[in-house]
Amino acid sequence: MDSPVLSLPWRHPLEAFVSLRDTPYSLLLLGDGDEGRWSYILAHPRTASLHGQAEAALGWAQAHVDALEAATSPPGAPPLRTGVAGLLGYDPGCPKGGPPSAVALYDLVLAFDHQTRTLCLQEAPGACPRRRAALLPGLAASPPPPVGATGRVADVEPRANFGAKVEAVRSRIAEGEFYQANISRQFEGCLGALDHPFDLFRRLAEASPAAFAAYLRLPGCAIVSNSPERLVRIRNTPEGRIALSSPIKGTAPRGASPEVDALNAQDLLASEKDRAENLMIVDLMRNDLSRACRPGSVRTPRLFELTTLPNVHHLVSHVEGMLEPDRTAIDLLEACFPAGSITGAPKRRAMEAIREIEGAPRGADYGSLFWAGTDGELDSSVLIRTATCRETPDGWSVGFRVGCGITSDSDPEAETRETEAKALKLIAAIGGEGS
């Protein structure tokens, strides 16, 4: 059956989403990954569910996307039409009142084509007219005046503690427990008195656009993500379903001048430590993809590419394979979650060490935001550069993590500075002072 499509007047998604910023399970995906052509608004789902574990959320997602009638779409249609989407939290349980995993079934999707400046509403067969009527009127609402960054945020531990954790990881690597582990620092604070999580999201989008920027409103909290990293994607092609992943590992700060900036980038590209660190995660991702892909199809077409963001340079590699005919996109996501770039290698042993060394649950941090369509396609991010905002009697609290991969060659002071470079844009957007 053809998917009903309604053309609407163009509006930028940041403006169109304002009226939905406090609607439960409203989701804005800004920029459609590294291509940047598409943005999406998903709101007023047919049904939604909170889960204590990512595995349960993925099981729910598979059952519900299977139950939604698939619709055909013409060539050139948006990659995301209708299906399931949501949050996979890194930890089981419910840390600090925020659900670790939440997923919803969306039969109404607004697709924004930045290339042609067109906007359409896509519907699955049988979508409820009442929910459509609730979605459309707010699209023309005028956004409120911009709010400045007047909050505060700081490291929850003394700076020196992170260096001690780096040394603890190095000692365990020397003892042969694992090869690499990604250890993070936790920052906490609050937004300004008149501030809102969506204002924080807008400030981040303007100051440092990210390939996987997303805003998700859940009961009692909001996820504000400025992530540059893809976890895994599935694309349908005439040859079959291609699985793609782009792990990030290796970071250098931007320079204060063009000359210093270029030197920092060159040093990163030449760094044996960072290249080895990246290659460990590439190997891990190859293993994860192989769990759902055809034997012999997994390959690495590009290694150690330089990607430059407003505050840091990264090394990015690309891994791909052909999905097995009897495996679903959600099967692949489960095989790859959580990302090796924010755990370590071997993954399970590194995760056990992370729990012991960090001493606190990660919650949404280092989880994933994903969507899966009725046509079998999927895309997902790694929730780095991501803040969790929680409603309190006094306004909004805010917290986030920044981390780095630790190897036997890691220098505690250099790794500490790397986390601070990664935190700069979030700290500035919140309005706080780093510790």
Strand locations in 292-367 (E): 299-308, 312-322, 344-345
Packing angle between helix 272-290 and helix 329-336, nearest 10 degrees?
Answer: 140
CB 44 within 8 A of CB 131: yes
Report d(CA 23, CA 364) in Å as an integer. 19
Of 165, 188, 206, 249, catalytic: 249
* Helix (H) / strand (E) containing 33: none
Report d(CA 154, CA 91) in Å as an integer. 23
Length of the chain in terms of residues written? 435
229 is catalytic: yes
For Cα atoms 7, 10, 12, give the angle at the middle one, nearest 5 degrees: 135
Which residue from 17, 432, 43, 61 is spatially nearest to 213, judged by alpha carbons?
17
Residue type, 320: E
Report d(CA 265, CA 247) in Å as an integer. 18
Q: Give the DSSP letter string of 134-161.
A: HHSGGGGPPPPPP-----EEEESS-HHH
Report the Cα–Cα distance between both ends of the chain, in Å, rounded: 57
CB 392 within 8 A of CB 98: no
Residue type, 298: V
The CA dihedral of 311, 156, 413, 173, to the nearest 10 degrees, is: -110
The CA dihedral of 291, 383, 55, 317, to the nearest 10 degrees, is: 0
Packing angle between helix 412-430 and helix 197-207, nearest 10 degrees?
Answer: 120
Q: Strand 118-123 relative to strand 108-113: parallel, antiparallel, unpaired?
A: antiparallel
Of 229, 277, 320, 415, catalytic: 229
Q: Strand 83-88 relative to strand 47-51: parallel, antiparallel, unpaired?
A: unpaired
249 is catalytic: yes
CB 101 within 8 A of CB 50: yes
Number of other CB atoms surrounding residue 393 within 10 Å: 4
> Which amino acids are annotated catalytic?
229, 249
